[in-house]
Amino acid sequence: MAYLFTSESVSEGHPDKIADQISDALIDNFLAFDAESKVACETLVTTGQVILAGEVKSKTYLDVQQIARDVIKKIGYTKSEYMFEANSCGVLSAIHEQSQDINQGVDRASKEEQGAGDQGMMFGYATNETENYMPLALDLSHALLRELAVLRRENSEINYLRPDAKSQVTLEYSDDNKPQRIDAIVISTQHDDFAPEAEMLAKIKSDLVAILIPRIKAKYPQYAHLFNDDITYHINPTGKFVIGGPHGDTGLTGRKIIVDTYGGKGAHGGGAFSGKDPSKVDRSAAYATRHIAKNLVAAGLADEVLVQVSYAIGVAKPTSINVVTYGTSKVNLTDGEISKKVEAIFDMRPYFIEQRLKLRNPIYSETAAYGHMGRTPETVTKTFRTPNGEEKTVTVELFTWEKLDFVDQVKSAFGI
């Protein structure tokens, strides 16, 4: 019997995502001037206020207030009527030095023996149901909000949008787990107060169905066949959405970890990513397991793969590595046997993850909205400045964990 599956996404202007983006901007600035920085930075945003807290071990000094304001401005909170505005909001910093008790478990005389920054388990997932090996419902949810943000910035066809938004896509799957059609789409978007409520809601729904959806179908033609005349649209189903952003809901770093990963598919170890330097395996090992899963599926090992890794704090070697193929394996091996081969191909000690994926670079701001996984690897040049006038321009690779650079090794190891 056919079944339904749902995933959601949130926009860059969602309060939790504002917090994530500020935390990751701080990470990037620290790493740009001191690649060995150890950072765990949390952000809280609320009406007219940003609070920064966390632990840092770094040789550089930053104007964290200005970094936060720059992020808020870039997102689009630039009007006083939002009750949260880049230039006027208060920014309080309670960042202090990292505990030496924690640091001694990470730093080692030999870099290769760098210990894990914490205990825990991390998961990576990949499926061949999309070109980027991501779950389809999440991919569509992200696409809706990315395009909605483009429309907001264009300010032409739709000129009343504000930065805060959420989306949700429900897909119908066949008995053999193939997506057949979109059953429902939910979009809640913040907007100006431009007319009586009933009139506003009717226009917003009409505009999103008539303008946003065709743009999605045109930009993502591989998904166009999933759209149909029977889709149920819930557009701002609670009513008007004028009060939003941090004024409508407090935001915190790390509260959208399912949006950041696989939309409820696969599994999640519970650790957030944003605000953490790569010595924190919550982040680096989650990227590494995604890298493994994606290369395994791309190599044709299986249609769907989940990779788990776990660590003890201060210990380099993982306590476990496990691969699950959900019965879709194309090789005559058990999942346990596949796991052993994978362990031999990919060195999952924290230092080697950092080196393999080039994680000690300022590459994290771009991850903090619209998902850390399923993104397109690219090389960009970025410039950073300190309060004392020091400037640094760096060229970095983004989303290295999405590269299919181990496919040949996987095929060779498994005889594919």
Q: What is the pLDDT along the chain (416 residues), one digit of tens a residue?
A: 799 999 999 999 999 999 999 999 999 999 999 999 999 999 999 999 999 999 999 999 999 999 999 999 999 999 999 999 999 999 999 998 865 655 555 665 567 778 888 899 999 999 999 999 999 999 999 999 999 999 999 999 999 999 999 999 999 999 999 999 999 999 999 999 999 999 999 999 999 999 999 999 999 999 999 999 999 999 999 999 999 999 999 999 999 999 999 999 999 999 999 999 999 999 999 999 999 999 999 999 999 999 999 999 999 999 999 999 999 999 999 999 999 999 999 999 999 999 999 999 999 999 999 999 999 999 999 999 999 889 999 999 999 999 999 999 999 999 99
207 is in an annotated binding site: no
- CB burial of 142-156 (b: ≥16 within 10 Å; e: otherwise) equals bbbbbbbbebbeeee
Q: DSSP secondary-structure letter at 47?
A: T
| pLDDT at res. 100 | 62
116 is in an annotated binding site: no
| pLDDT at res. 111 | 72
55 is in an annotated binding site: yes
164 is in an annotated binding site: yes
Single-letter code of the amino acid located at 3: Y
385 is in an annotated binding site: no
**277 close to 31: Cβ distance less than 8 angstroms:** yes
* Domains of the chain and any CATH numbers: 3-9+136-245 (3.30.300.10), 15-103 (3.30.300.10), 120-128+260-414 (3.30.300.10)
240 is in an annotated binding site: yes
241 is in an annotated binding site: yes
272 is in an annotated binding site: yes
**321 close to 122: Cβ distance less than 8 angstroms:** no
| pLDDT at res. 114 | 84
**Nearest one of 60, 56, 58 to 36, comparing CA atoms:** 58
Please give the backbone phi and psi of residue 264, each rounded to the nearest 5 degrees, phi first.
100, -10
**310 close to 70: Cβ distance less than 8 angstroms:** no
195 is in an annotated binding site: no
249 is in an annotated binding site: yes
98 is in an annotated binding site: yes
Beta carbons within 8 Å of 127's beta carbon, 6+ residues apart: 133, 134, 135, 265, 297, 303, 304, 305
Please give the backbone phi and psi of residue 256, each rounded to the nearest 5 degrees, phi first.
-130, 50
283 is in an annotated binding site: no
107 is in an annotated binding site: no
14 is in an annotated binding site: yes
- CB burial of 17-41 (b: ≥16 within 10 Å; e: otherwise) equals bbbbbbbbbbbbbbbbbbbebbbbb
